[in-house]
């Protein structure tokens, strides 16, 4: 997410095709500015096995209403499955206003679907490649990128922005927003981009009860360099869009609680074996922290951007993307790991092959 990893540039096209979608409430002289974003991938719907999927920043919603799994990822495509083995797609599911800050042809990063109070919400990052918000010497142009929230009546969509106003400061490059509710109060947890900050930050901000806007100012929880296992990008020879840039990555926050009530956060950065999946735990049991970082990553070998979901038969799974170290660049594929959260820490039980 959705962080601009070096490999993402090789996996996703910079621009995604758009397809018009009219609404009956508009006259012929005033066409709707809303259009359906067409996800990257095949032109036609196919059914393929899980191990044939190519998805960056995978997120799986297990929808109890339809007894269907919905898989999303960077690029804007949706896949559907009843059993986690056979997946049908790609489908389009997001509508945006082409006249808004997102622009007519945005890049789409790390969408995640959440069910809340009878509706479905998509927390997603859009990048408007036509707008530069900051020029940083010897670092490059920072594009207009921000986390936004879309809403739908059904898990499959269509999802439309709740508001055209940004949720976060326009001069910030933000990404990988996720949803968290604590004592009935909803929050947006997100990354303030390392491309702009150099030392990336995980932050949070309160949301309105209907998720239509944010309230107050954002607060920093921790930075990329706080992780004992993280590595500075230049020190491990990583290139970002062909550039050698200093900095520590923060990517893909996802909140969870163990069965003992301990609050944890999945997040990703770069380690000695490229992309890595880390975990932090709140010492206070609350979102405000303080956050204690584990010494070693949960998954160390070129995998990350994880999230947790529960299958319809009760298994707790960690979904994340993975890439062979022998392939650089190469395709990122979703991977499932069965985990145990019955104690005070998240533990991996092993690979789950649907």
Average pLDDT, the chain: 90
Task: Give the confidence band of 353 by pLDDT, cuts at 50, 70, 90.
Answer: very high
Using the structure block, give the residue that is written with the tokens 């990354």. Answer: 191
Q: Averaged over 84-102, what is the pLDDT?
A: 94
Q: Is 113 inside a domain boundary? A: yes
Task: Give the confidence band of 138 by pLDDT, cuts at 50, 70, 90.
Answer: confident
Q: Averaged over 209-217, what is the pLDDT?
A: 98
Task: Give the confidence band of 32 by pLDDT, cuts at 50, 70, 90.
Answer: low
Helix (H) or strand (E) holding 111: strand 107-116
Q: Inform me whether the pLDDT recorded for 89 exceeds 90.
A: yes
Q: Inform me whether the pLDDT recorded for 116 exceeds 60.
A: yes
CA distances from 312 to 47, 112, 167, 216 (A): 21, 19, 33, 38
Q: Averaged over 114-121, what is the pLDDT?
A: 98
Single out the residue of 123, 51, 56, 46 nearest to residue 91, CA to CA.
46
Note the pLDDT of residue 325.
87
Count of Cβ atoms closer than 10 Å to residue 329 Cβ? 13
Range of the domain at 168: 8-351
Rg value, the chain, Cα:
19
Q: Averaged over 47-54, what is the pLDDT?
A: 96
Note the pLDDT of residue 44.
85
Q: Inform me whether the pLDDT recorded for 216 exceeds 60.
A: yes
Query: Which residues, in sequence order, are bridge partners of residue 333?
Result: 322
Q: Is 2 inside a domain boundary? A: no
Q: Inform me whether the pLDDT recorded for 81 exceeds 60.
A: yes
CA dist., res. 240 & res. 5, Å (int): 7
Q: Is 104 inside a domain boundary? A: yes
Contact call for residues 2 and 125 (beta carbons, < 8 A): yes
Q: Is 73 inside a domain boundary? A: yes
CA dist., res. 175 & res. 253, Å (int): 10
Note the pLDDT of residue 354.
94
Note the pLDDT of residue 137.
92
Between 63 and 331, the more confident residue is 63
What is the DSSP code (8-state) at residue 50? G
Task: Give the confidence band of 268 by pLDDT, cuts at 50, 70, 90.
Answer: very high
Q: Is 3 inside a domain boundary? A: no
Task: Give the confidence band of 41 by pLDDT, cuts at 50, 70, 90.
Answer: low
Note the pLDDT of residue 20.
31
Task: Give the confidence band of 15 by pLDDT, cuts at 50, 70, 90.
Answer: very low
Note the pLDDT of residue 330.
75
CA dist., res. 283 & res. 287, Å (int): 10
Note the pLDDT of residue 7.
38
Q: Averaged over 290-297, what is the pLDDT?
A: 98
Which CATH number belongs to the domain containing residue 20 in this structure? 2.115.10.20
Calculate what percentage of the chain has a pLDDT beyond 90. 81
Q: Inform me whether the pLDDT recorded for 290 exceeds 90.
A: yes
Query: Which residues, in sequence order, are bridge partners of residue 57?
Result: none
Task: Give the confidence band of 11 by pLDDT, cuts at 50, 70, 90.
Answer: very low
Note the pLDDT of residue 29.
47
Number of domains in the chain: 1
Note the pLDDT of residue 307.
98
Q: Averaged over 206-234, what is the pLDDT?
A: 98
Q: Inform me whether the pLDDT recorded for 12 exceeds 90.
A: no
pTM above 0.85, yes or no: yes
Count of Cβ atoms closer than 10 Å to residue 184 Cβ? 6
Note the pLDDT of residue 43.
67
**Per-residue pLDDT tens over the stretch 218-230:** 999 999 999 999 9
Task: Give the confidence band of 21 by pLDDT, cuts at 50, 70, 90.
Answer: very low
Q: Inform me whether the pLDDT recorded for 190 exceeds 80.
A: yes
């Amino acid at each position: 997410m959705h962080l601009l990893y070096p490999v993402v540039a090789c996996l996703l096209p910079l621009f995604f095709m758009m397809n018009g979608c009219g609404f009956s409430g508009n006259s012929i002289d005033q066409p709707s500015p809303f259009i359906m974003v067409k996800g990257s991938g095949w032109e036609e719907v196919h059914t393929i096995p899980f191990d044939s999927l190519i998805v960056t920043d995978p997120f799986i919603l297990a929808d109890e209403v339809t007894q269907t799994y919905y898989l999303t990822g960077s690029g804007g495509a949706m896949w559907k499955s009843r059993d986690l083995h056979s997946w049908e797609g790609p489908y389009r599911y997001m509508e945006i206003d082409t006249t808004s800050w997102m622009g007519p042809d945005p890049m789409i990063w790390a969408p995640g679907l959440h069910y809340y109070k009878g509706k479905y919400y998509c927390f997603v990052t859009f990048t408007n490649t036509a707008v530069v918000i900051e020029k940083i010497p010897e670092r490059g142009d920072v594009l207009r990128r921000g986390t936004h929230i879309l809403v739908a009546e059904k898990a499959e969509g269509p999802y439309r922005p709740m508001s055209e106003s940004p949720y976060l400061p326009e001069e910030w490059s933000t990404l990988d927003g996720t949803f968290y509710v604590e004592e009935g109060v909803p929050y947006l947890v997100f990354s303030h981009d390392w491309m702009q900050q150099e030392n990336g930050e995980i932050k949070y901000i309160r949301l309105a009860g209907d998720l239509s806007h944010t309230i107050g100012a954002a607060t920093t929880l921790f930075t990329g360099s706080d992780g004992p296992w993280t590595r500075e990008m230049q020190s491990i020879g990583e290139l970002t869009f062909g550039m050698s840039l200093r900095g520590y990555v923060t990517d893909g926050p996802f909140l969870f609680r163990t069965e003992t009530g301990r609050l944890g956060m999945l997040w990703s950065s770069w380690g000695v074996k490229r992309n890595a999946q880390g975990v932090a735990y709140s010492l206070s049991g609350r979102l405000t922290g303080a956050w204690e970082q584990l010494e070693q990553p949960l998954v160390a070998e070129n995998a990350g951007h994880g999230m947790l979901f529960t299958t319809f038969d009760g298994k707790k799974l960690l979904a994340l993307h993975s890439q062979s170290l022998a392939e650089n660049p190469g395709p990122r594929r979703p991977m499932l790991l069965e985990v145990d959260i019955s104690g005070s820490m998240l533990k991996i039980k092993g690979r789950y092959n649907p």
